[in-house]
Amino acid sequence: MPRQTTCPFCGAMLRSSARFCSMCGRDLRRPATPRQRPARSRFRLSCGGLVIGVIGLILICGALNALLPDRAVTSGTADQERQQSVGTTGNDTPTTRPPTPTATQVPSAAPTVTVAEPIIAGEQPLEVHVIDVGQGDSILIRTPEGKTALIDGGYDNGLALAYLREQGISQIDVMVASHPHADHIGGLVEVLRALPVKGFWTSGATHTTGTYEQLLDAIDAARVPYYEVQRGDTIPLGRLSFEVLHSNPDADDLNNTSVVLRLAYGNVSFLFTGDVEAAAELDMLSTVRERLNATILKVAHHGSRTSSTAGFLAAVQPRIAVYSAGRDNNYGHPHRETIQALQQIGAEVYGTDEHGTIVIVTDGVDYQIQTGYDRPPTAAPEMPGTAPSSNNTTQGDRDCRNFATQAEAQAFFLANGGPARDPHRLDGDDDGIACESLP
């Protein structure tokens, strides 16, 4: 039987001596190209790859399924975590923080922050400086952790900024303008231009003066975050915070737009009243009476008789009362009635016109009063006509024999408080002229 072979191209059975395939006609002398895999082999290879792909997909899906529940929880609690990240307080009250400093911002609600952890009194002192800036208000506060606040800045006379530099203050964390009168905001403009300020708070009351326009320009130029507060807000100062007890930008009188702040450190508390007058005091008595009590009172409106009403002082019950007024000012501040009202509730009274800059230092348990001039607290002056008189006429001048001329007596009279004080009773008829009987 002849030997047979197969065609390398089509697989047909051929004689071993054949030169051409009788089936496909191919030249059997030419080398055959590599044979392709049979269709079944390719199918098996494709199936194996598909199986591997399916297994990989299953593994990926399993991993995603394992991650999805955590992502769902994160999404579901995002708001809670966001609130915690900005300062949930010990009493579970969600709080907010000031935004990152940008250019002057559209007035927004002030951040509400309470003490994140209890202050341990008796360790580091809190300092409150009622700065002698003349006829104006400026108060520096330095916390135990080194945070600083400046409430008002007096006139633009450089005194507030000079004092800050003397104290080594390199930045202000919280700046507050109680209201937009020049004797409260003028010095703030100078500070904004000289020192970094992290945030500016006010009531939102506006004014038409050039000083107020300069204030807005300075805030904008320094890119300080700007906030307008309302009653019930708090202003963060490190671990401490100010409570806002009054803020009314729509009040008829700019004095009554003043932001009133309360600051507590341990058992010692401060009440900063700006220039509020009787109407605003009455409003606070009807809304926040229970929050008015304070150890130290910054007397409203430089000791004017338009403020410090009996009901308000009865609610505050301060041990120490501090007013800020310029010596020999044209307004007669502080008024006699105010000093007496403060004395009647048992408060020791200090004033920048008599004592210079007044510093209260407290560890939250005790406090100390440091004054620029070594003088005792202001004494309660007598009211005209309170001393006995033999003929029932107006009480005569006293101690005028100590002066050679009326001009000399008048100079002494004005240097010691003028008609608002007159502790020596040189002006018996209360007309503002001392020792009229002298030449």
Kindly state the tokens that stand for 315: 């609610």
Q: Write the burial class of residue 158 (CB in 10 Å: 0-12 exposed, 13-18 middle, 19+ buried).
A: middle
Distance in angstroms (rounded) separating the CA atoms of residues 185 and 176: 9
pLDDT confidence of residue 313: 97
Task: Please answer whether residues 400 and 417 qualify as being in contact, where contact means their C-beta atoms are separated by less than 8 angstroms.
Answer: no
Instruction: Tell me the CATH number for domain 108-371.
Output: 3.60.15.10
pLDDT confidence of residue 45: 40
End-to-end CA distance of the chain: give it in Å, rounded.
168
pLDDT confidence of residue 80: 38
Would the pTM of this model clear 0.85, i.e. be above it? no
Task: Spell 112-127 as b/e; 16+ CB within 10 A means b.
Answer: bbbbeeebebeeebbb
pLDDT confidence of residue 86: 32
Distance in angstroms (rounded) separating the CA atoms of residues 76 and 177: 41
- Per-residue confidence of the chain (439 residues) as pLDDT tens digits? 556 677 777 777 766 666 667 677 666 665 544 343 333 333 344 445 555 666 777 777 666 665 554 433 333 333 333 333 333 333 333 333 333 333 334 343 433 333 334 444 446 899 999 999 999 999 999 999 999 999 999 999 999 999 999 999 999 999 999 999 999 999 999 999 999 999 999 999 999 999 999 999 999 999 999 999 999 999 999 999 999 999 999 999 999 999 999 999 999 999 999 999 999 999 999 999 999 999 999 999 999 999 999 999 999 999 999 999 999 999 999 999 999 999 999 999 999 999 999 999 999 999 999 999 888 887 655 554 444 333 333 333 345 766 777 777 777 777 666 666 666 667 766 677 878 777 7
Distance in angstroms (rounded) separating the CA atoms of residues 110 and 88: 16
Distance in angstroms (rounded) separating the CA atoms of residues 167 and 289: 35
pLDDT confidence of residue 201: 98
User: Hey, where are the domains in the chain?
Assistant: 1-34, 36-71, 108-371, 384-439
